[in-house]
Each structure stands twice: as C-alpha cells, then as structure tokens.
Structure 1
Amino acid sequence: MTQLHAFAHCLAVATITLALAAGARAQDSSEELAKKLSNPVAAMISVPLQYNYDQKYGDGRTGHKSYLNLQPVIPFSIGPQWNLISRTIVPLIDQNTPGINQSGVGDITQSFFFSPKEPTAGGLIWGVGPVIYLPTGTDPQLSARKWGAGPTAVVLKQDGPWTYGALVNHIWGFGGVESRPGFSSTFLQPFLSHTTKDAWTFTVNSESSYDWKNKEWSVPVNLMVGKLVKFGNQPVSFTGGLRYWADSPDNGPHDLGYRFVVTFLFPK
C-alpha cells in the first residue's frame, strides 16, 4: 500500500467517525462556514488536503493513479470594495500505468480572482483574473514541461441552503522544453450544493476539461458528502464521495474513482 493509499484510508475513517460524533453539536456558525466552503471566492483562509484515486488507465485499462492536492486558498483585501483571492493547487502524484510508474510533485496551477466584497443587487458573487501553470513536476512523466497562462472566472449564487454556479479557465501552454508538445485546455466546473443547518453539505459537480490539441474531453462527475466539525475553536471539514468518468480519452481513467478531503478553516 502506497503512502497516498494509506492517507486515503485514514481520511475515510476520520470522515465517518468524526462526522457522526459531531452530529448535533454543530452550530449556526458552522452552517455559515460550511456554506463559505462552497464559495470558491469566499474571503476566508482554507487549506484543503484532497486525496483522489482513479483507475483503468492505459492499454488494457490496468493502470491507476493516486494524487493528493494541497489547495490553500488565501484572500487579500485590496481596498474597501475588492478582494484578491489566491487559489493554489500543488499535486503530489503516485501513478502506475503501462510503461509508467512514478511518484513525485506535479505541475502547480495558480489562480488569482479579483472579487467584489459584496454580492451584486441580484445576489451574484463573482471573480475574474489570471491562471498560471508552472512546470514544477519533479519527473518528466509528471510534468508537461511547459509554462502556461490564461483567464479564469467564477460566478455563483447562494440562495438559502443552496449554492450553485460555475468556475471556468483556459490555459495556453508556451515556452519550456521544445521537444514537448504545446497544449491548449479549457476547464469547466459547474457545481450545485445544499448545506443543512447542522453543517452537512451535499455536492454534485463536474471538473470537465477539453484538450483543444487532441480534441478530447475528460468529464468526471463527483457526488460528495461533507460535514463541518469543530475541535475547540478550530473548524475542520471532512468530505468524501465517488467520481464517475462519463467521458475520458482512451488512455485516461474510466469507471469509478473516489475522493476524500480534509479542509482546515481559518475564519477571521
């Protein structure tokens, strides 16, 4: 069992045990914190540790891939009306596919959203900014070996217990190792979540991407259940769920995967 697999099992046990134990102790403030977690541009520091497992990669569909995403979200106030939200994804990857058996750090994706501090008159929350792709992979098999950049945007609405909206970005690859192919990729993340008064959150989303060079879609559908609990004054969210690959390249993942997330929250 790899370290990433062991981490996944620990997260699974912690999610079930702590969520059930916390049950009725959640307070209204926990509900609001849980709703903020459903907002990608909420003005709150959070540090998610997101473990993913996918299977049936490559020829014969015998490969599998585990990756742990470190995803700190840090807001900065840039005046009385605007926030700058920094969202970083640092992947730690362990993959075993035909001809490839590698572990290490993957390429980092860094997004910045300029977002108004208050919703619009119609209740819309939004943010726009740049996304940057950094070739930080520690192994050639874990990196595109290209830089990348493009625009990103998010729009959502929170109506009672419901949060719904979408996040999108497009990244064009450039520079880097000349022998490596360029890339042009669009990422689409529509999401819908419902948060209960005792801080359970039920989410369905897709994290689809389209490869414009190879004209291929990757379309995973995630079904997630999360619970926000407090250890003293420290709020922590535990989330788990399944992913179904509705579409994928021939050498990509197929059928079911799963995800477990532990998120540390640092509200002001």
Structure 2
Amino acid sequence: MNKILRKTTTAIALLASLIALPTMADQEQMDKKALADKAAKELANPNTALASLNFKFQYYGGYDDGGSSSTVLFQPSMPFPLDNGDKILFRPAIPFSMNYDKAGEYGDDSGFGDISFDLAYAPKTEAGSIMAFGVFAQLPTGQEGFTADQFAVGPEMLLGKLSKERIFIFFPNHLWGVSNQSDNPNAKDINRTSVQIGWVELLGNGWTVASSPTLSYDWNEDQAEIPLNFQVSKTVILGNRPWKFGLEANYYIEKDERTRPDFMIGLNITPVVENKLAGLF
C-alpha cells in the first residue's frame, strides 16, 4: 500500500512539475512583453531616463546630378537624473557619410561630418507633460568636404504630451554661426531654424508607428526643407536588454533642388545601456 502511495505521489509531483514548466515559461514571456512595452514607450519619449546608443543607417537618393549617398549616424542619448526628479540630457551626433556617383560606384568622397549635440535641462513636470530647454550646437570637426567650417550654437526647446496610447512633441531649435573658419570668401554664417514635429502611436507588444519630420528653413538662402516622414519600430528584449529596431523613410516635398535628395530610407538600431556617468550630477 505504501509503495502504491509513494508511486502515486511521485506521479502527481511529476505531472505538476510538467504543468508548472509551461506556466513559468508563459509568465517569463509575459514579463518580457511588459518590459518591451515599457521600454518602447520610454524610448519614444525624448526626455527618457533610459540611456541608449542609437545607430542610424541612412540612404539618400534622387539628387539632381543622379548620384546618391549614405550616412551612418551614431547618436547616444545620455540622461543624468537629478535628486529632485529633474534631468540633464546630453545627445551628441557623429555622422560618417559616403557619396556615390551616377553609376552607383563608390569613390574617395567620404568622411566624418561635423559633430552636433544638444544639452538640455528637463524639469520634472506633471504626469503626461514633456518639457525641456537648452542649447543646440554644431562643431567644425568634419573632414574636408563634409564640414561647414564654423562653430554654430543656438537655443532649443521641447514641449510634448504623453499618454498610454501616444506621444506628441514639438521640438524647435535655431543655429547661428559664430566662428566662420571657411577659406571660401562667399561662405555665410549659418542661420537656420529647425522644428521637429512628432507623433508616436504606441500599439502594444513593443510596436510603434510614428511620423516625426524635421522641417528647416535656411535664412541665408531663403530656402525651406519639408519632408514627409514615416517610421515603424519594434522593441524586444534580448539578453535582458531592450533593443529597438526601426525603419524610417523621408520624402522631401520642398528642398534645395541643387544639393538635396528626393528621399531617404533608414534603418535604426537602438540598444538600451547603462549610463556609467550618471553619478556625476
């Protein structure tokens, strides 16, 4: 009788463990989906507290001369949370560009462009509001043919609304050239206004669709640039780390016909990382 009881107990325990294993796996999968959803919402917020490394691979086509170009843009985002709930945000952008001729052949026309960055202060706001203000700057660090040869700086401001379903942002800045080092006597100081108008729809399960065009106006050339923009992205958890993968496209309905492309197609890859410098503030 005892042997039968022990065998029965063992069989029940084994059956229970087999039932529990899928349940635990399902729970882990649910936890990852919830984390991916949370990370997707954070990464769509320009004022996010998550540090990340953004790699943008962009192809530009439809130039007036029939050529094309591509750019690899490295854009880390480093937030510095303060004790009072405010944040300092630092976002540099380092571009490397390659130009192609009409036949699509790659030549020696490639190099690093000017590094730009924005440094902003984001005060703690009421739930659902986004706000930041600071400076936007461009440094003459690019190689010959890929630099404006001048330091430029100006103000920036960010306003936005955030809900469970979507995010809206309004992000204007202006750049003035203040140190023109160009050898070209006809080179003018930078005088350009840009406005990013963004909408992000949070679809759940880490998916987002968005439109976030950056409109600009060059006051020296009296020339506007207006793209139509569409983006789709998916945030997943790989090795306990959120990764965001996205596709992006621009079609320029207004531009400088002499120097600007008709369209841009981009692939964006963004892993979330730990900001080792966060303790500085």
TM-score interval, smaller chain: 0.7 to 0.9
The 5 Å alignment of 1:19-38 reads 26-38=32-44
Give the distance between the partners of 1:199 and 1:26, measured in 2 at CA.
Answer: 10
Between 1 and 2, higher relative CO (CA 8 Å, sep ≥ 6) is seen in: 1
**Aligned pair partner of 1:52 in 55, 58, 63:** 58
Deviation per CA, 1:95-120, whole angstroms, max 9, x where unpaired? 2368x96211100111011002x333
Contact 1:26-1:198 at 8 Å conserved across structures: no
2:159 matches 1:155: yes
Q: Aligned equivalents of 2:108 and 2:176: distance in 1?
A: 27
Q: CA separation of 1:255/1:133 partners in 2, compared to 1, >3 Å: closer, same or farther?
A: closer
| Match 1:94 to one of 68, 73, 98 | 98
Q: 1:33-182 counterparts in 2 under 5 A? A: 33-58=39-64, 61-96=65-100, 102-116=109-123, 118-120=124-126, 123-139=128-144, 141-178=145-182, 179=184, 180-182=187-189
**Whole-angstrom CA distance in 2 between matches of 1:24 and 1:32:** 12
Q: Which residue of 1 aligns with 2:256?
A: 249
- List alignment gaps of at least 5 residues for structure 1: 1-22
Q: For 1:27 and 1:167, locate their aligned partners in 2 and report how far apart those are by CA, in whole Å.
A: 30
Name the SS of the counterpart of 1:249 in structure 2: coil
Contact 1:26/1:199 (<8 A) preserved:
no
CA 1:24–1:138 in 2, change beyond 3 Å: closer, same or farther? farther
Aligned length: 240
Residue 224 of structure 2 is aligned with which of 212, 217, 223?
Answer: 217
Q: Shift of residue 24 of structure 1?
A: 8.4
Aligned to 2:265: 258
**CA shift for structure 1 position 242:** 2.0
Contact 2:78 2:91 in 1 (8 A): yes
**Matched residues in 2 for 1:37 and 1:130: separation?**
21
Which of 1 and 2 has greater Rg? 2
Q: Aligned-pair distance for 1:133? A: 0.8
Indicate conservation of the 8 Å contact 1:46/1:73, yes or no.
yes
Aligned to 2:247: 240
CA contact (8 A) 2:188 2:220 kept: no
| Structure 1 counterpart of 2:66, one-letter code | T
* Deviation (angstroms), 1:183: 1.3
Q: Report the CA distance between 1:177 and its aligned residue.
A: 1.4
- SS for the counterpart of 2:156 is strand
Counterpart residue type for residue 93 of structure 1: S
**Residue 206 of structure 1 corresponds to which residue in structure 2?**
213
Structure-2 change in CA distance of 1:267 and 1:257 (3 Å): same
Deviation at 1:72, TM superposition (A): 0.3
Q: Is the CA contact 2:52–2:76 (under 8 Å) kept in the aligned structure 1?
A: yes
| Percent identity of equivalent pairs | 25
Give the structure-2-normalised TM-score.
Answer: 0.80
Secondary structure of the corresponding residue to residue 258 of structure 1: strand
Change (3 A) 1:220 1:158: same
> Structure 1 101/185 Cα, relative in aligned 2: closer, same or farther at 3 Å?
farther
Answer yes or no: is the 8 Å Cα contact 1:56–1:252 preserved in 2.
Answer: no
Q: RMSD of the alignment, in Å?
A: 2.1
User: Who is 2:24 aligned against?
Assistant: none
Gaps of 5+ in 2: 1-28, 276-281
Question: Which residue in the other structure is 2:202 paired with?
Answer: 195
Is this contact kept in 2: 1:54–1:64, CA < 8 A?
Answer: yes
TM-score, reference length from structure 1: 0.83
